[in-house]
Amino acid sequence: MSPAIIEFHNVVKSFGKQLVLDDVSVSFESGKTTVIAGGSGQGKSVTLKLILGLLSPDAGEILVNGRDIIRMKQRELNKTREKFGVLFQGSALLDSMTVFENVALPLKERTKYKGQEITQRVRQMLAQFNLEGHEDKFPAQLSGGMKKRVGLARALMLQPDIMLFDEPTTGLDPQITMDIYRLFFKSQKQFGYTSIIVSHDIPRVFNLADQVVLLNKGKMVTFSSPEDIPLSSEPQIVSFATETMGHIYSSKKMEHNI
Amino acid sequence: MISLITKLGDSFLYMVRDLGRMGLFLFSALLAIFSRPFRFRETVRQIRIIGANSFAVIFFISIFTGMVLGLQGYYTLRKFGSEGMLGSAVALSLIRELGPVLTALMVTGRAGSAMCAEIGIMRNSEQIDALECMVISPFRYLITPKFLATIISLPILTQFFNVIGIAGGYLAGVVLLGVNPGAFYNGIVQSVVNQDINLGIVKSFVFALLVVWICTGRGYFVHILRNAGFGAEGVSRATTQAVVLSSIAVLIWDYLITAIML
């Protein structure tokens, strides 16, 4: 088992009267791909924002490399965030900037690279994501799939250790979804990052997973593989698995019963 | 009765929290002015948007304000046979009060609302979160150029307002109504002193800070504003709030500064 890179200990988070995470303890292993699945409004995106320190929990601690992100000073929080790359649900591209400027932004702001060197690196990255010829377009002129590719290129520009994907394929057609998954495989192989993927795209997204975390009514349950989900002793989880994954993952249970 | 007290208490707590949040926002924005790298080009671009692009509006508002002052002043002063004091009345009204206040209100309506909407949309579409995740300070990157540009532009626009307004007063009073030009000019020279000009300049700096603080702050916190709603509606309500609050703040501070400095 790989060491945990991110750990939640008894984390509680609520918004007003709505309890989103209820005493959650879970760990995300280094070098692995963890998929966080669950219904809408269950707190999947909130989990990512807690990891990044964009939201604070009401109780509990969130450790990144053994350090509690809540108690970090701004400087240390920034150092920790440097390890992360994030692909947001809506890509979160700066809409007043072109594709080139968006992808170049981390290099311009966080490194000492100048003019020609930045241009060369950005062009190289855009080529890897099949975005050549679109450098001068603005986000509003791009399709959903292209925005995701630009967002991914920008997130990977500084080669992060951990990539967080917030609904990377929501709103995309099946073919573009597969393209995004291919890019994910290719980029993870190239950059070797740990990844946490929040997704609705069940069961397809499980093909990427080394570990699955199911989020249901504020509780998180970890499974070492998607096929273990229907074997859960929790009736709600079995019901969730049957509803979302259908019969393809029931074979192991049948085998187990025999 | 208990429900009413609960609601009042809740509103009071929200107001305290909101004030605290806005106070920290102002502190962070002012602190970010000194962080490097400084965004010189973006600051110049913002000066163009907030300052230079507001010039046409300021020109029309100021010339007609001056003309109305000239007209009203003429008919009032004529009752006392003091038409010669028209220059003094127009210049003092503009330099001390109307110049700084109307310029600030115009900049609030034209540029402040745009700043609030721009930052609000960036907040709602997670662009500000993206900046934070890339370890790019949203204060240094987005807010500071707007702060600096407004603090530089508004006092300059105010001076333009005063000059064009006085010209408007001259046009109405001297050219159209026949007041003696020498008396008009002499009235200005005799009555306007350094203290009046300083008062106008101090006001314009304070108003600039208030306008940019409230407008960018409302946009920045659009996601946690009470009763603002979400998405486009949230941004629209935050923008309305920003314009209303800025305008009220400008008028309250106008009174306070006048009371302190006069």
Helical packing angle, B194-220 and B231-261, nearest 10°: 160
Report which DSSP code applies to A202.
T
B133, A78: Cβ pair inside 8 Å?
Answer: no
Query: CB pairs below 8 Å between A and B: how many?
Result: 49
User: CA torsion B113→B114→B120→B124, rounded to 10°?
Assistant: 140
pTM of the model: 0.85
Least confident of A78-92, A165-179, B124-138, B231-245: A165-179
Any idea how long chain A is? 258
pLDDT at site A190 = 83
Interatomic CA distance for residues A132 and A119, integer angstroms:
13
Q: With contacts defined as CB-CB under 8 Å, which chain B residues touch A89? A: 126
pLDDT at site B28 = 92
A88, B134: Cβ pair inside 8 Å?
Answer: no
A170 CB near a chain B CB, below 8 Å? no
pLDDT at site A244 = 63
Angle at B24 between CA B23 and CA B29, to 5 degrees: 100
A95 CB near a chain B CB, below 8 Å? yes
Interatomic CA distance for residues A21 and A47, integer angstroms:
8
Question: A interface mutation test: which of B40, B115, B127, B128 has the most A CBs within 10 A?
Answer: B127
Which residue of B lies nearest to A104 if distances are taken between CA atoms?
A: B134
Alpha-carbon distance B202 to nearest alpha carbon in chain A (angstroms): 34
**Rounded average pLDDT over A232-247:** 66
H helical segments located in chain B: 2-32, 40-46, 55-79, 86-92, 99-107, 113-124, 127-133, 138, 144-170, 181-191, 194-220, 231-261
Which residue of B lies nearest to A151 if distances are taken between CA atoms?
A: B130
pLDDT at site A1 = 61
Residue A71: CA atoms inside 13 Å, Cβ hemisphere, count?
Answer: 9
Most confident stretch, A40-49, A173-182, B8-17, B148-157: B148-157
pLDDT-based confidence at A230, cuts 50/70/90? Answer: low
User: CA torsion B185→B191→B197→B203, rounded to 10°?
Assistant: -120
B136, A88: Cβ pair inside 8 Å?
Answer: no
Encoded tokens for B256: 């306070």
Query: Is the model more confident about B242 or about A199?
Result: B242
- Using CB atoms, pick whichever of A49, A86, A92 lies closest to residue B127: A92
Residue spans of beta strands (DSSP E) within A99-230: 162-166, 194-199, 211-216, 219-223
Which residue of B lies nearest to A55 if distances are taken between CA atoms?
A: B129
Distances from the Cα of A106 to the Cα of A176, B42, B51, angstroms? 26, 17, 30
Q: 10-residue block means of pLDDT along chain B (262 residues)?
A: 86 91 94 88 93 92 94 89 86 93 95 94 92 91 95 95 94 89 89 90 95 95 77 89 95 94 79
On the question of pLDDT at A144 being above 90, the answer is no
Domain residue limits, chain A: 1-83+205-258
Q: Do residues A148 and A91 lie in contact, with contact meaning Cβ atoms separated by under 8 Å? A: yes
Report which DSSP code applies to A224.
S
A88, B135: Cβ pair inside 8 Å?
Answer: no
B132, A105: Cβ pair inside 8 Å?
Answer: no
B133 CB near a chain A CB, below 8 Å? yes
Contact residues, B window 67-126, toward A, CB-based 8 Å cutoff: 121-122, 125-126
Question: B interface mutation test: which of A80, A82, A89, A94 has the most B CBs within 10 A?
Answer: A94
Give the distance from CA A137 to its chain's centroid.
26
pLDDT at site B214 = 96
In sign, the C-alpha dihedral spanning A76, A82, A87, A93 is positive
Interatomic CA distance for residues B119 and B22, integer angstroms:
15
Query: Is the model more confident about A131 or about A255?
Result: A131
Domain residue limits, chain B: 39-261
On the question of pLDDT at A254 being above 60, the answer is no
Question: B interface mutation test: which of A109, A150, A154 has the most B CBs within 10 A?
Answer: A109
- Using CB atoms, pick whichever of A84, A94, A109 lies closest to residue B133: A84
pLDDT at site B178 = 87
Class of the CATH-defined domain A1-83+205-258: alpha beta
A162 CB near a chain B CB, below 8 Å? no
User: How do A211-216 and A33-38 pair as beta strands?
Assistant: parallel
Asked if residue B37 has a cis previous peptide bond (ω within 30° of 0), the answer is: yes
A184 CB near a chain B CB, below 8 Å? no
Percentage of chain A lying above the pLDDT 90 cut: 16
Q: With contacts defined as CB-CB under 8 Å, which chain B residues touch A110? A: 134-136
3-state secondary structure of B221: coil
3-state secondary structure of A54: coil
On the question of pLDDT at A2 being above 80, the answer is no
Q: How many CB atoms lie within 10 A of CB B3?
A: 7
Distances from the Cα of B257 to the Cα of B96, B200, B209, angstroms? 11, 10, 14
A106, B134: Cβ pair inside 8 Å?
Answer: yes
Q: Do residues B212 and B151 lie in contact, with contact meaning Cβ atoms separated by under 8 Å? A: yes
The amino acid at A81: R
- Using CB atoms, pick whichever of B125, B127, B130 lies closest to residue A86: B130
